[in-house]
């Protein structure tokens, strides 16, 4: 109990079922600083990935991943600053909150892009590339239409996008076994 009383100022109350989480002032500051701190390394890392790419396909993939990473930190930083310091501008805050959620979908898709584009993962990988980006678009439309209304559906979108590329691993293993058996028979 003493621990809870000592750190009470860092904690907030639970979010209502269909309401938005209300961070404390300390959480706002931590979100702003940690996200802003990572913008420059994301830009530098993206530039290095692009520069170290060997061919056009790798350059495009590095660009997609780099843009997703940079957008994530930039949009999230702006949202947290507006939410912390300009919360009286409800329309602006709401807009940036939606953008923050939307960019998460695109970052998930962008983070799978190098893995799905640059490795031989079997026939399922080509379908998974499209599925991930369609899920990102679907998540964006969902956020635009139903922002903060059905949190379980939003969680389902995030989890589906996060775990569905694991199906490619089963396809990759099967594809590798077929190649191995074929090479052993010849």
Average pLDDT of the residues in 26-41:
87
Render pLDDT for 77-96 as a digit per residue (tens, 0 to 9): 999 888 877 767 788 888 88
- Compute the distance between CA of residue 30 and CA of residue 34 in angstroms, rounded to an integer: 6
Q: What are phi and psi of 150, to 5 degrees?
A: -120, 85
Which pLDDT value is given to residue 16?
62
Which pLDDT value is given to residue 67?
94
The DSSP string of 120-143 is ---HHHHHHHHHHHHHHHHHHHHH
Is 44:32 a contact under the CB 8 Å cutoff? no
Listed in sequence order, the DSSP H helices in 23-122 are: 25-37, 39-51, 56-85, 90-118
Is 79:92 a contact under the CB 8 Å cutoff? no
Which pLDDT value is given to residue 38?
92
Q: Which of 173, 54, 171, 42 is nearest to 110 (CA)?
A: 42
Compare 121 and 22 and report the one with higher pLDDT. Answer: 22
- Compute the distance between CA of residue 75 and CA of residue 95 in angstroms, rounded to an integer: 11
Render pLDDT for 35-94 as a digit per residue (tens, 0 to 9): 899 999 999 999 999 999 889 888 999 999 999 999 999 999 999 888 877 767 788 888
Task: Provide the whole-model pTM.
Answer: 0.77
Is 34:50 a contact under the CB 8 Å cutoff? no
Q: Is the pLDDT of residue 3 over 60?
A: no
Render pLDDT for 145-166 as a digit per residue (tens, 0 to 9): 887 777 788 888 888 888 887 7
Band (32; pLDDT cuts 50, 70, 90): confident
């Amino acid at each position: 109990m003493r621990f809870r009383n000592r750190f009470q100022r860092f904690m907030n109350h639970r979010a209502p079922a269909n309401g938005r989480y209300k961070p404390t002032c300390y959480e706002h500051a931590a979100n702003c600083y940690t996200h802003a701190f990572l913008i420059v390394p994301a830009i530098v890392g993206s530039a290095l990935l692009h520069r170290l790419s060997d061919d056009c396909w790798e350059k495009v993939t590095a660009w997609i991943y780099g843009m997703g990473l940079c957008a994530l930190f930039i949009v999230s930083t702006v949202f947290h600053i507006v939410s912390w310091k300009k919360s009286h501008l409800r329309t602006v805050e709401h807009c940036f909150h939606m953008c923050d959620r939307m960019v998460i979908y695109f970052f998930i898709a962008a983070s799978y892009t190098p893995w799905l584009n640059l490795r031989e993962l079997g026939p399922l990988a080509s379908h998974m590339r499209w599925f991930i980006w369609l899920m990102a678009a679907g998540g964006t439309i969902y956020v635009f239409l139903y922002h903060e209304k059905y949190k379980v559906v939003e969680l389902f979108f995030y989890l589906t996008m996060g775990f569905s590329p694991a199906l490619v691993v089963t396809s990759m293993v099967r594809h590798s076994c077929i190649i191995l058996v074929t090479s052993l028979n010849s």
